[in-house]
Structure 1
Amino acid sequence: MAIDPRNPDPAYAAFWRERHVCTLTTPRPDGSPHVVPVGVTYDPATGTARVITGKDSRKVANVQAAGPDGARVAVCQMEGKRWATLEGRAVVRTEADVVADAVERYAVRYGRTPRPNPDRVVIEITVTRAMGRG
């Protein structure tokens, strides 16, 4: 079912605040999907989802290979019959303040602060589509 990504119903938004392992799907340069487990934070007010990761990861390389306009990606989570997917355009952000903000959001959602990592970057997704079942 389609959901307004900037104004989801309260149950959908709450599901994205619960602690769940998610998946990120990025396109490889050959077009095939690369799917990996990640932690995701979602801010409906700005329509932004964020994944923190190392700068040398395959997911970062896939997003960068798509060019300056970013890569079309999806993040998904599920629990039992509940599921939620966010789709959009991803870019890699390296600015220290952006990374620090993403780490703080991760700490709030997942209940732990990740270990320091000087090579950490953010895959920032401008969400254009949201769907799911609560």
Structure 2
Amino acid sequence: MSRGLLAAGIAGFTGAGLIATLWATEPGSLPTRTAAAFAGLIFVGLAWAVLAAWTSWKRPLFADDRVIAGRLAVVFTTVTTLVTGIVAGPLAAGPGLLMIAAAVVVLVRARAYRDRLRSQVAALERQRGQ
């Protein structure tokens, strides 16, 4: 497992725990949008923690963990940017567009790396079969 994914998993779990604690200790009920934001942030943090845990126990082959992490990054940054654009206006979503571009680059590179590994395995299996 990569150090980056481990860091994302620890940060996600910690963030989800802190937000859940903050939510649980609020004296009154939160406004609907705040509760939805808290729930979304808890979900995102737990998703990263689950991916890191799965990677450490399962040891996925062919860089599947990188592709999954790239997909999570694209989905979460896109949703966050859309919500930001709706709530705060299109100018506030500008930095999110840069983050989406970075997440797409990560996903494309992860897929290319996975495909390269799969082709190398296929070539080795053909050699072994001859």
TM-score normalised to the size of structure 2? 0.26
Specify which structure has the bigger relative contact order, considering alpha-carbon pairs within 8 angstroms and separated by 6 or more residues. Answer: 1
Q: Compare CA radii of gyration and give the structure with the larger one.
A: 2
Where is the helix percentage greater, Structure 1 or Structure 2?
Answer: 2
